[in-house]
Amino acid sequence: MQAGALFPLILPLSPREREPFPPGRDDSLRVGLLPALPTALPLPKGEGRGEGEGIIRANSSSDGFLVAANTTVAAGNASATWKYGVAQAKITPTNLFWMGGFAARKHPATGTLDDLYVKALAIEAPDGGVGLLVTADLVGIPKWLYDHLSAELQRRHHLDRSRIRFASSHTHSGPVLTDALRDIYPLDDPQRSLIAEYSRWLEATMLDTAAKALASRSPATLWAGEGKATFAYNRRTNDESKRAEMLQRGEAPKGPSDFTVPVLAVRSPDGQLRTVVFGYAAHTSALNDNYRWSADYAGVAQRALESRHPGAAAMFFQGCGSDQSAVPRGSVELCQALGENLAAGVESALAGPMRPVSPSFRAGFEFVSLDFEAQPNKAELETIGQGTDYRARWARRLSAELAAGKVFERRYAEYPVQVWRLGTNQLWIALGGEVCVDYALRFKREFGPSTWVTGYANDVMAYIPSRRLWEEGGYQAGAFDVYGLPASRWCPDIESRITAAVERLVKHVRPRDALKSVVITLKPKTESRKPKEIRSPKSEKVQPPARPSDF
């Protein structure tokens, strides 16, 4: 860099330093900031970090440092802004075939209650960092579809997996897809043909929607906040049928839940809401006796928000809700009430003070290998296969594979872990599978209460227990027969494997701690440490719950 050149700088500011300057103060000096500025500032590889933007005129440089003088720091440089693009498409099946979500269903769908959608949000920071979020009213995205979509987005738009995030709502009134939940329902050839045709169309539609979002980027500002909704109910530690009696006695529900509603608001330069992304950790299964396509309570919330904010798109992601039910449930009216409750939580965040998200984006991704500790043997499969339910279909299929000479995989080799950092401090973690609430609560303790965690992200392959759930056992500790995997138990260190990957990625995307120092080096000291094994919050000791009909 030549002397006198301008370069963008983003500095972490303390609350005192963010206070407005008194009228009449010479802005060219920005006296309030000078004590916090180091004498020597590094050039952090072109990346802006922190929440205040500014420009420093460099008079000289030496040994990788820029020596600052005649300093001017101006917050809110209008040239450094986000860009966004949003698109959506209806994905309600036109044919009637089996619905994914409840093992107790007896026949395929009979019609439509409300439409299903895929929605895409593209965000771009001034440094060229692009993130793509694709939400879908599906029970989950299987690995084959995730891999196909990722490869095609890489080919067409040069986006790697770290920058692409698929988030399933986990509605229990959406379609079954090819090679997903393959043993749950007694599929015949005509049903398989309809499912395959729809799955191919869905893949093309998701790619087209993503392309439209990426092609429509325009200036925007991003804002982060949290609301609250309290209808999540731990279904391992509470009997839903006794909820009313428990509340009448003044008893609080047992076991951990997460009532936070993460909210990301995308606004046009004139302040108009253009997109709102929000999440919640509770099963999208309020319509538990339903045979009509529906986005469940998440769809209600999205429609309510879009009605109240004309021209804005609302997008939902499921949190770590594998062990959480949305209650009370069981009717269209109760589902409507849950969705309105969630929309109110989003509105409270939108109405309150939100955190401005400075235009900086970093992403990290890692596949983690998760071993199977136990797998069914031939004799066990033969015994289970004598039944008539979906577990029997699972066992008979695996028995046939063994008889044909197939060797079962001993692990799930590619479990997806992803971390985004929006602005300076907004961490947004995404985990594959049906993730239990312990993970979200742990990451909030480790990385801060405003950390967001998306579950059911990218590839939904099985239930993902914490160490606590693994020890307790029961349905939410794996449910391998639901997803068709040749296993009966995860490895005991499943939580530590996943959290170690998250910690590595957080370290990768977060600004270096050295930026807080007065003297900064271009190669800050890195600390090598073994990831901590922090045990999940203890809930009351329970017997493994009975196998539910919803998954």
CA 383 to CA 374: how far, in whole Å? 17
Residue 28 has pLDDT above 80, yes or no: no
**Is pLDDT of 535 > 70?**
no
CA-to-CA distance for 430 and 181, rounded, in angstroms? Answer: 22
Average of per-residue pLDDT across 496-503: 98
Structure tokens at 265: 């608001």
Omega of the bond prior to 328 within 30 degrees of 0, cis?
A: yes
pLDDT-based confidence at residue 37 (cuts at 50, 70, 90): very low
Reference 291, options 98, 530, 485, 42; nearest CA is: 98
**In the block, which residue shows the tokens 């692409």?**
164
CA 267 to chain centre: 21
| Rounded Cα–Cα distance for residues 367 and 494 (Å) | 13
DSSP assignment of 35-86 equals GGS-SEEE--TT---SSEEEEEEEEEEETTEEEE-S-B--SS-TTS-EEEEE
Is this structure's pTM higher than 0.85?
Answer: no
Q: Which two tokens stand for residue 474?
A: 């029961």
Task: Give the pLDDT score at 478.
Answer: 86
467-486: pLDDT as tens digits: 999 999 988 888 999 999 99
Q: What is the number of other CB atoms lying within 10 angstroms of the CB of residue 517?
A: 11
Amino acid at 213: A
- Cβ atoms of 147 and 141 within 8 Å: the answer is no
In sequence order, what are the beta bridge partners of 453?
Answer: 429
Is 393:334 a contact under the CB 8 Å cutoff? no
CA distance 193 to 189: 6
- Name the DSSP letter for residue 242: G
Measure the CA–CA gap between 204 and 79, rounded to whole angstroms.
36
Nearest 5°: CA angle at 440, between 122 and 172?
70
How far apart, in whole angstroms, are the C-alpha atoms of residue 502 and residue 515?
22
Backbone angles phi, psi at 456, to 5 degrees: 55, 35
- Which has the higher per-residue pLDDT, 60 or 356? 356
pLDDT tens digit string along 291-329?
Answer: 999 999 999 999 999 999 999 999 999 999 999 999 999
Return the domain boundaries, the chain. 6-68
pLDDT at 491 over 60: yes
In whole angstroms, what is the distance from residue 135 CA to residue 137 CA? 7
**Residue 190 to residue 444: CA distance in whole angstroms:** 47
